[in-house]
Amino acid sequence: CRQLFCSLSGTSRASRPILKRAHPWDGDTPVKAKQQRRLAGTPSEEASLEPVERLQHSRSAQHEEIKSLLDSDDQNLIGDFSKAHLLPTVEGKDPGLKYISPDTLVAVLTGQWSSFIQSSIIVDCRYPYEYEGGHIKGAVNLPLQWDVEQFLLEQPIVPLDSSRRVIIIFHCEFSAHRGPKMCRFLREKDRSCHEYPQLHYPELYVLKGGYRDFFLQYPAHCEPQDYRPMEHGAFQEELRQFRCQSR
């Protein structure tokens, strides 16, 4: 048997190429070699992963590009991101809203933007006794959220010509609280009616300084030509009632 084993071993060594065995100090133990093979993977496995990785990288790059475009416009796009705001804006209290000056509102009222605007709605968010004491000509009095929702969202105003716009301008006495709050309310309600970023009213503005500043500069565009403040002494009961309804 020993001779037979030696004979077979000699034949095997003659017919096969000699493979150099690594020395123990090379550091390649069977366990470590197996780990290295597992980490390296086979060429077919690597080839199958490359298209997936390239696709993921491409999608990530596209996402970053879109985000960069939206961030780079300094928030100058209207709510559905379809175009830039039409009216020139001024700095206001709430950086998330677009404010216009009384001068710009007069330009809208006198038709200077008529070739671009199909309909402009001025929403007076003051309480009725304030509105009755003097308001901007053509403004609608919508002091409560329910009023805004019913007037603007139950039957939305749709532009007949896609090149012309429907704009809404909010204000209250000073445009410090009620007007901006109502503007944000309409945008939130409008968003909830659509798939993002579509909107019925993508272009909203707030009149900076409110009715008080507008009346002081342009009383001829108000009717009656007067100004009744919210804290008027003769209307304290009406003020209390409307404050309760607004909460």
Q: What residues are labeled active site? A: 172
Residue 76, token pair as written in the block: 């100058």
The token pair at 131 is 């509105």
How many whole angstroms separate alpha carbon 210 and alpha carbon 205?
12
User: What is the rounded distance in angstroms from the CA atom of residue 185 to the CA atom of residue 191?
Assistant: 10
Closest CA relative to residue 201, chosen from 246, 247, 244, 151: 151
Place of tokens 């090149």: 163
Cα separations (Å) of 163 from 117, 118, 148?
9, 9, 25
